[in-house]
Structure 1
Amino acid sequence: MASWRSVSVSISALVVFVVSLAYLLISASSSTSALGGQQDLGPLKHPHRHFQAPAENPWAELDDAEASQLYLWLHENTNLFDSASDTNALNLVELLRPNKSDVADYLDHGGPPPERWARLSNLESKGDEAFVKEYMVGPLPPSNHTQILPLTYCHNSGRNSVRSPISDVFALLDWALGIGENASDITLDLLGAKTNRHDLDDPDGLVIGSRPALIDSGRMVHWLEFFRPGMKSDGRSLLPQGLYVKLDIPTARPETWTTGGWFYNGILYDNDTMLREAMKSPDFERLVVNEDGGWTDTEDPASVAPERDMPPPLSIQPYGPRYHLDRAENYVSWMGFSFYVATSQATAVSLFDIRYNDTRIIYQLGLQEALAHYAGVEPMQSGLEFLDTFFGMGKMMFSLVPGLDCPGHAEYVDMSYHRGGKMYTNKNAICVFEYTSDAPLQRHTSAFSATVSRNTYLVVRSVSTVGNYDYTIDYIFYLDGSIEVKLRASGYIFGAFHAEPRHSAVPPRDSSTNEYGYRIHPGVQTSMHDHVVNFRADFDICGTANTLVRTTVEPLKREYDWDEPEVDGPRNTMHMVHEPITRETGLNWPKNAREMYLVTSPSATNKWGESRAYRILPGTGMGNPAHLTIVNSTTLGNSAAWSSADLWVLRNHPDTEPSSAHENNYLEPLAPLVDFTKMVDSEDIEGEDLVVYFNLGGHHVPTSQDVPNTLMHTSASSVVFMPFNYFDEDVSRAWRQGVRVDRRPPAREGVGSAVEKDEVKIKTKRTADAQGEENNRHRDEDAQSEKDKRHEDEDDGVTWFGGRYTRDVLVSPQMLTPDLSHYMRERDEGEAGGWKTVRNAVGGGLVGLFVGKERAGEEGGRGRGGMDW
Structure 2
Amino acid sequence: MRFSLGCSILGLQWLSGLVLARSSDSCAAPAYVPTTAEKATPFFVLNDTELQDITEWLLDPAQGLNLTDATSPNLTQTDNYIWYIEPLRPNKTDVLAYLDGNASSPAKYAHVVMAEGGKAEPDMTDNETTIQELAYWYNGVHGAHVPFNSRPADGPRNAAILPLIIEVMSSIADITADLVDMVFYGPDDPRSTAHLFTTNPQSKDGSDCLIWIPWRRNRMAYFDQPSDLYTSFDFSGSDPSLYKLRMIVYNLVVYNSVEEFRAAYESGQIIKVPPPATDDSFLQKDRLGAVRDLENRLAPTSVELEGKRYKIDEENGYVEYLGWSFYHQFTRDMGIGIFDIKFKGERILYELGLQEAAAQYSGNNPFQAATAYFDRYYGIGSCNVRLVPGYDCPYHATYLNSTWNDELGVHEVIDGICIFESDLGHPYSRHNEATYIHSSKASALTIRWIATVGNYDYLFDYSFWMDGTIAVDARASGYIQANYYRPSDGGHWGPRVQETITGTLHTHVMNVKADFDLIDTKNTFLKTDLIVENITAPWFPELGEFEMMRLNFTELQTEDEGLLPVPTNGQTMYSVINKDQKNKWGESRGYRILPGISNVHLASQNSPFMKKSGEWAKQAFAVSRQHDTEPSSSSTQQQNLPWAPPVEFWKFFDGESLVQEDLVMWINLGMHHYTRSEDIPNTIMTEAHSSIMFAPQNWGDTELAVDLTNAVIYHANENGSVVVPDVNGVSPPSCFPLTSQDQLLGVFENQNP
User: Same fold by TM-score, threshold 0.5 exceeded?
Assistant: yes
Q: Which one of 37, 47, 60 corresponds to residue 32 of structure 2?
A: 47
Residue 116 (structure 1) shift: 0.8
Q: Which moved more, 1:74-83 or 1:206-215?
A: 74-83
How far apart, in 2, do the equivalents of 1:198 and 1:496 lie? 22
Q: Which one of 384, 390, 409 corresponds to residue 396 of structure 2?
A: 409
Note the 1:644-659 alignment, pairs <5 A: 644-653=618-627, 655-659=628-632
Residue 733 (structure 1) shift: 1.6
The yes-or-no answer on 1:806 pairing with 2:718 is: no
In structure 2, give the amino acid aligned to 1:392: G
How far apart, in 1, do the equivalents of 2:186 and 2:636 lie? 33
Residue 64 (structure 1) shift: 3.0
Partner of 2:117: 125
After superposition, the C-alpha distances for 1:123-171 in whole angstroms (9 at most, x for unaligned) are 111367532211111xxxxxxxxx3211112222372221132663212
**CA 1:598/1:319 → structure 2, altered by over 3 Å: closer, same or farther?**
same
Q: Which one of 247, 263, 271 corresponds to residue 277 of structure 1?
A: 263
Which secondary structure does the structure 2 equivalent of 1:92 belong to?
strand
Partner of 2:274: 288
Partner of 2:239: 253
How far apart, in 1, do the equivalents of 2:330 and 2:185 lie? 40
How far apart, in 2, do the equivalents of 1:122 and 1:365 lie? 29
In structure 1, give the amino acid aligned to 2:63: N
The answer to whether the Cα contact below 8 Å between 2:28 and 2:305 also exists between their aligned partners in 1 is no
How far apart, in 1, do the equivalents of 2:17 and 2:706 lie? 33
Partner of 2:162: 173
How far apart, in 1, do the equivalents of 2:239 and 2:60 lie? 31
The answer to whether the Cα contact below 8 Å between 2:67 and 2:79 also exists between their aligned partners in 1 is no
CA RMSD of aligned residues (A): 2.7
Q: Which one of 510, 515, 521 corresponds to residue 498 of structure 2?
A: 521
Partner of 1:709: 682
Partner of 2:74: none
The answer to whether the Cα contact below 8 Å between 2:419 and 2:445 also exists between their aligned partners in 1 is yes
Partner of 2:193: 205
In structure 2, give the amino acid aligned to 1:526: G
Which secondary structure does the structure 2 equivalent of 1:169 belong to?
helix
The yes-or-no answer on 1:598 pairing with 2:575 is: yes
Note the 1:313-324 alignment, pairs <5 A: 313-324=300-311
How far apart, in 2, do the equivalents of 1:549 and 1:530 lie? 29
Which secondary structure does the structure 1 equivalent of 2:446 belong to?
strand
How far apart, in 2, do the equivalents of 1:42 and 1:450 lie? 30
The answer to whether the Cα contact below 8 Å between 1:80 and 1:148 also exists between their aligned partners in 2 is no
Partner of 1:674: 647
Q: Which one of 547, 552, 556 corresponds to residue 577 of structure 1?
A: 552
In structure 2, give the amino acid aligned to 1:65: T
Using CA pairs under 8 Å that are at least 6 residues apart, name the structure with larger relative contact order, 1 or 2: 1
Q: Which one of 90, 99, 103 corresponds to residue 107 of structure 1?
A: 99
After superposition, the C-alpha distances for 1:205-262 in whole angstroms (9 at most, x for unaligned) are 11122114314423011111110122xx3x2111101101111122132111101221
The yes-or-no answer on 1:67 pairing with 2:59 is: no
How far apart, in 2, do the equivalents of 1:39 and 1:182 lie? 56
The answer to whether the Cα contact below 8 Å between 1:168 and 1:254 also exists between their aligned partners in 2 is no
The answer to whether the Cα contact below 8 Å between 2:80 and 2:115 also exists between their aligned partners in 1 is yes
The answer to whether the Cα contact below 8 Å between 2:531 and 2:552 also exists between their aligned partners in 1 is yes
Partner of 1:332: 319
Residue 278 (structure 1) shift: 2.3
After superposition, the C-alpha distances for 1:560-603 in whole angstroms (9 at most, x for unaligned) are 33334xx3423421100001111212001111110001101111
How far apart, in 1, do the equivalents of 2:303 and 2:157 lie? 52
Residue 736 (structure 1) shift: 4.9
Q: Which moved more, 1:167-176 or 1:657-666?
A: 167-176
Q: Which moved more, 1:635-644 or 1:334-343?
A: 635-644
In structure 1, give the amino acid aligned to 2:520: G
The answer to whether the Cα contact below 8 Å between 1:129 and 1:251 also exists between their aligned partners in 2 is no
After superposition, the C-alpha distances for 1:261-318 in whole angstroms (9 at most, x for unaligned) are 2111121112233223323445642111221422111223444434332321211113
The answer to whether the Cα contact below 8 Å between 1:735 and 1:802 also exists between their aligned partners in 2 is no
**CA 1:33/1:539 → structure 2, altered by over 3 Å: closer, same or farther?**
farther
Which secondary structure does the structure 2 equivalent of 1:438 belong to?
strand
How far apart, in 2, do the equivalents of 1:104 and 1:259 lie? 54
Which secondary structure does the structure 1 equivalent of 2:124 belong to?
strand
The answer to whether the Cα contact below 8 Å between 1:35 and 1:401 also exists between their aligned partners in 2 is no
After superposition, the C-alpha distances for 1:325-347 in whole angstroms (9 at most, x for unaligned) are 00010100111110000111101
Q: Gaps spanning 5+ residues in structure 2: where?
A: 19-25, 69-76, 738-753
Note the 1:408-427 alignment, pairs <5 A: 408-427=395-414
After superposition, the C-alpha distances for 1:398-433 in whole angstroms (9 at most, x for unaligned) are 111111111111111112223343222111111111
Residue 806 (structure 1) shift: 2.5
Residue 65 (structure 1) shift: 3.4
The yes-or-no answer on 1:90 pairing with 2:82 is: yes
The answer to whether the Cα contact below 8 Å between 2:482 and 2:504 also exists between their aligned partners in 1 is yes
**CA 1:513/1:73 → structure 2, altered by over 3 Å: closer, same or farther?**
same
How far apart, in 1, do the equivalents of 2:13 and 2:379 lie? 20
Q: Percent identity?
A: 30
The yes-or-no answer on 1:155 pairing with 2:138 is: yes
In structure 1, give the amino acid aligned to 2:682: N
After superposition, the C-alpha distances for 1:826-855 in whole angstroms (9 at most, x for unaligned) are xxxxxxxxxxxxxxxxxxxxxxxxxxxxxx
Q: Which one of 472, 490, 494 corresponds to residue 481 of structure 2?
A: 494
Which secondary structure does the structure 2 equivalent of 1:440 belong to?
strand
The yes-or-no answer on 1:345 pairing with 2:321 is: no
Q: Which one of 450, 465, 474 corresponds to residue 478 of structure 1?
A: 465
Partner of 1:534: 511
Partner of 2:72: none
Partner of 1:398: 385
Note the 1:704-743 alignment, pairs <5 A: 704-741=677-714
In structure 2, give the amino acid aligned to 1:727: G
Which secondary structure does the structure 2 equivalent of 1:214 belong to?
coil
Which secondary structure does the structure 2 equivalent of 1:168 belong to?
helix
TM-score of the superposed pair, with normalisation by structure 1: 0.78
The answer to whether the Cα contact below 8 Å between 2:148 and 2:206 also exists between their aligned partners in 1 is no
The answer to whether the Cα contact below 8 Å between 1:347 and 1:393 also exists between their aligned partners in 2 is yes
**CA 1:451/1:731 → structure 2, altered by over 3 Å: closer, same or farther?**
same
In structure 2, give the amino acid aligned to 1:69: D
Residue 747 (structure 1) shift: 2.5
The yes-or-no answer on 1:432 pairing with 2:419 is: yes
Which secondary structure does the structure 1 equivalent of 2:131 belong to?
strand
In structure 1, give the amino acid aligned to 2:605: V
In structure 2, give the amino acid aligned to 1:689: D
Partner of 1:58: 42
Q: Which one of 438, 448, 453 corresponds to residue 440 of structure 2?
A: 453
Partner of 1:228: 217
Note the 1:774-785 alignment, pairs <5 A: none
How far apart, in 1, do the equivalents of 2:197 and 2:507 lie? 20
How far apart, in 2, do the equivalents of 1:346 and 1:353 lie? 20
**CA 1:583/1:33 → structure 2, altered by over 3 Å: closer, same or farther?**
farther
After superposition, the C-alpha distances for 1:803-840 in whole angstroms (9 at most, x for unaligned) are 22232159xxxxxxxxxxxxxxxxxxxxxxxxxxxxxx
Note the 1:138-149 alignment, pairs <5 A: 147-149=130-132
Which secondary structure does the structure 1 equivalent of 2:539 belong to?
helix
Q: Gaps spanning 5+ residues in structure 1: where?
A: 7-16, 138-146, 500-507, 749-756, 758-794, 811-869
Which secondary structure does the structure 2 equivalent of 1:733 belong to?
coil
Partner of 1:818: none
